[in-house]
Amino acid sequence: MAEVNSEKSALTSQNNTSTRDVIVNTISIITARGEVIDISSPPIYNVLNIYEDIFKSCITGTIQIFDGINLISKLQFRGNEFIRISFQRPREPVDSIKFDKIYRIYKVSNRQPTKSQDQTYVLHFCSEEQIFSNQINISKAYTGKTVTDYILSICRENLKIQENKLGEFEPSSGIQKVIVPRISPFDAIKLMEKKAYNDTESPYLFFENKDGYNFASLSRLFARGAVTKLTYDGAKMAVEKNSPYVNSTTILDFNIKKSIDLWETTKKLTYSGKLSTLDLVRQKYTEYEYTAANLNKNNFIDKANLPVGNSKNRDNKSVYDVYDSNYYFSLTNKDHSQINYRNTVYRETDTNVERVLLQRESQLNLLNNIFIDSCTVPGNMAFSVGYVVELDLPGFTVNSQSNRELDPYLSGNYLITNVRHVIVPSGGHQTILSLAKNSLKTSVGFSDSSSENFIKARSL
């Protein structure tokens, strides 16, 4: 994956570019016959969207075309076309922020006439690997290596992804055995993804960002630290919103979509749960209790301050102690390699459900416990899923001083989980981020469940 230092340089550049300044080098359609048609000069598109999602395998996008020359009929879109998109921020010396990619056009939608007898329609595009993955299947038993080895093999041998499109592939722990039952390569990768873990029992994610395809654990993404700090100051933005001096680390708008949802998080495995395993060979039944309170500190994006307090319920248990609230069952073959069967060592690869099943479910749910949506910043391709940014969010108090009071809980590090780059010919480029975190910069402290008022409130 790209060096963090270069990303910091790209994201903190102080060159005087406006919030939307962008140089579109080309947006070209490559036809099935190899013809190249530039639709950016003069522009015949209304809006271009490029999407990255850390929970999806590849990059997707849409572009709305304003067609007054019946281009759609002349090109006869049949899904064999490609689109090349190349743009960059002006006056930026850092090469890493230049964007130049080619995607497969796979769909045409929303075709409708306008009052001026022109027409508009939307072209949908994605990475070529997605279409290729849909066209082939894998039926194979993978044995003797790690999940990371298997996924790299699928990327290279089945999907035939070029090496320059392979980003970071973090080694995973444990020798695994995975049976792939005639499914597409991307589906096979998602199947394997659920079996991967590292020394801290952190879940892995397979995703594509601007660096290419990646396979990394949450703890690895957190460990890289913030590439930049994003700041928001509502008092100043009224003056500076359209200033040519606003740089790419200024938050123009944001929405704290979720900071806690106890209803939802207690319905599913987030804070605590229980796993029951059945060993058919030994005919042994085992229960394991899991609590997020015992998570390795490397699995937190900020300091290990859990986002929910430890107040007790009517059974005098906190959310970290109600193990029966989320009950899971699985077969296991734990330690089968140590079993002697008819004077022969019974060898079977450990499924490691005890180290993966509850840990993955809980940590992915915990990650979205605090979620900021529609975080809009000046357009910059250096923002990409899988990277961490630091947020300085104001406390929204009346303050006449130049340094505003910060929210002590919501300020801190966030993982970029979704990115939308928007380019409008008449309006330039903006980047819209979705940000998530699983811990707080400042501890919420301990609850006093023994106080008279708390006991009274809980009993009503």
- Share the mean pLDDT of the chain: 87
How is 275-308 classified by DSSP, letter by letter?
A: EEEEETTTTEEEEEEEEGGG--GGG-SSSSB-SS
A 10 A CB-CB count for 160 gives 11
A 10 A CB-CB count for 288 gives 17
Strands 272-279, 327-331: parallel, antiparallel or unpaired by DSSP?
parallel
What is the C-alpha to C-alpha distance for residues 376 and 309, in angstroms, rounded to an integer? Answer: 31
Do 128 and 103 form a contact (C-beta atoms < 8 A)?
A: yes
Query: Which of 198, 258, 195, 232 is closest to 395 using CA atoms?
Result: 232
Do 241 and 378 form a contact (C-beta atoms < 8 A)?
A: no
Bridge partners, residue 104, by sequence: 82, 126
User: pLDDT tens-digit profile of 377-407?
Assistant: 988 888 999 999 999 888 776 655 555 678 8
**pLDDT band at 435; cut points 50, 70, 90:** very high
For the purposes of burial, counting CB atoms within 10 Å of the CB of 33, is it exposed (0-12), middle (13-18) or buried (19 or more)? Answer: exposed
Percentage of the chain modeled with pLDDT above 90: 59
Q: Rounded to the nearest 10 degrees, what angle do helices 185-193 and 128-135 cross at?
A: 100
How is 329-381 classified by DSSP, letter by letter?
A: EEE--TTGGGEEETTEEE------HHHHHHHHHHHHHHHTTEEEEEEEEE--T
Question: 237 pLDDT exceeds 70?
Answer: no
**pLDDT band at 37; cut points 50, 70, 90:** very high
pLDDT value, residue 245: 37
Cα separations in angstroms, 161 against 130, 138, 167, 200 = 11, 16, 11, 30
Torsion angle in degrees (nearest 10) through CA of 17, 19, 24, 29: 160
**Best CATH choice for the domain 133-218 from the list 3.30.9, 3.55.50, 3.40.720, 3.30.10:** 3.55.50
What is the C-alpha to C-alpha distance for residues 401 and 395, in angstroms, rounded to an integer? Answer: 13
pLDDT value, residue 73: 84
Per-residue pLDDT, averaged over 439-449, amounts to 77
What architecture does CATH give domain 4-131+221-259+367-437?
Roll (2.30)
| Cis? peptide before 42, omega within 30° of 0 | yes
The domain spans of the chain are 4-131+221-259+367-437, 133-218, 262-364
**pLDDT band at 2; cut points 50, 70, 90:** very low
For residue 186, the Cα-to-chain-centroid distance in whole angstroms is 16
H/E element, 192: helix 185-193
pLDDT value, residue 10: 55
This model's pTM is above 0.75: yes
How is 54-86 classified by DSSP, letter by letter?
A: TTSSS-EEEEEEEESS-HHHHHT--S--EEEEE
What is the C-alpha to C-alpha distance for residues 14 and 244, in angstroms, rounded to an integer? Answer: 11
SS3 419: strand
User: pLDDT tens-digit profile of 295-326?
Assistant: 999 999 987 788 888 888 888 899 999 999 99
User: pLDDT tens-digit profile of 186-215?
Assistant: 999 999 999 999 999 999 999 999 999 999
User: pLDDT tens-digit profile of 61-119?
Assistant: 999 999 888 888 888 888 899 999 999 888 765 554 678 999 999 999 999 998 878 89
* 6-10, 18-22, 75-79, 330-334: range with lowest mean pLDDT: 6-10
Question: 236 pLDDT exceeds 50?
Answer: no
